[in-house]
Amino acid sequence: MQVPAILAPVVDLVFPPRCPLCGEGLAAQSGLCSGCWAELAIPGQPSCTSCQRPFDSSTAAGSICAVCLADPPRHDGIAAGTLYNDASRKLILALKHGHRIALAPMLARLIAAQLPAEVGPGWLIVPVPLHRWRLWSRGFNQSALLAGELAKATGAELLVDALVRTRRTPTLGGLGRKARARALAGAIAVNPRRASRLSGARVLLVDDVLTSGATSDACVGVLKRARTDKVVVACFARVLDEALDLT
**pLDDT tens digits for 78-108?**
999 999 999 999 999 999 988 889 899 999 9
Q: What is the pLDDT of residue 204?
A: 98
Do 13 and 130 have their domain in common? no
Instruction: For residue 160, give every residue at least 6 positions away whose Cβ sits within 8 Å of its Cβ, in sequence order, or none.
Output: 126, 127, 144, 147, 148
Q: What is the pLDDT along the chain (247 residues), one digit of tens a residue?
A: 455 555 444 444 445 778 888 888 765 656 889 899 999 999 998 999 999 999 988 888 889 999 999 999 999 999 999 999 999 999 999 999 888 898 999 999 999 999 999 999 999 999 999 888 888 888 899 999 999 999 999 999 999 999 999 887 766 656 666 777 777 778 899 999 999 999 999 999 999 999 888 899 999 999 999 999 999 999 999 999 877 776 6
Peptide bond into 170 cis (omega under 30): no
Angle made by CA atoms 44, 46, 50, in degrees to the nearest 5:
100
80 close to 110: Cβ distance less than 8 angstroms:
no
**Gap between the Cα atoms of 204 and 57, Å rounded:** 28
Q: How far apart are CA 204 and CA 175, in angstroms?
A: 27
The pLDDT value recorded for residue 237 is 97
Specify whether the CB–CB gap between 165 and 201 falls below 8 A: no
For residue 4, the model assigns a pLDDT of 52
Residues 17 and 85 in one domain: no
Sign of CA dihedral 171, 172, 175, 180: positive
Using alpha carbons, select from 135, 142, 138 the residue that is nearest to residue 164: 135
Which pLDDT score, from 0 to 100, does residue 7 have? 46
Answer yes or no: are the C-beta atoms of 100 and 18 closer than 8 Å.
no
Between CA 168 and CA 129 the distance in angstroms is 11
Q: Are residues 151 and 33 in the same domain?
A: no
Residue 67's pLDDT is: 92
Q: In what order do the strands lie in the sheet with 123-127?
A: 78-83, 230-238, 202-210, 123-127, 157-158
pLDDT for 61: 84
Is there a single domain that holds both residue 133 and residue 67? yes
Shared domain check, 52 and 27: no
Do you know the residue count of the chain? 247
* Number of domains composing the chain: 2
pTM of the model: 0.89
Q: Rg of the Cα trace of the chain?
A: 18
The pLDDT of residue 163 is 97
52 and 147 assigned to the same domain: yes
**26 plus 144 within the same structural domain:** no
Distance from C-alpha of 200 to C-alpha of 247, rounded to nearest angstrom = 36
Q: Are residues 96 and 54 in the same domain?
A: yes
The distance of Cα 54 from the centroid of its chain, to the nearest Å, equals: 17
Query: Looking at residue 227, which CATH number applies to its domain?
Result: 3.40.50.2020
| Domain ranges, residue 147 | 40-246
Are residues 61 and 88 both part of a single domain?
yes
Residues 19 and 128 in one domain: no
Q: Do residues 14 and 93 share a domain?
A: no
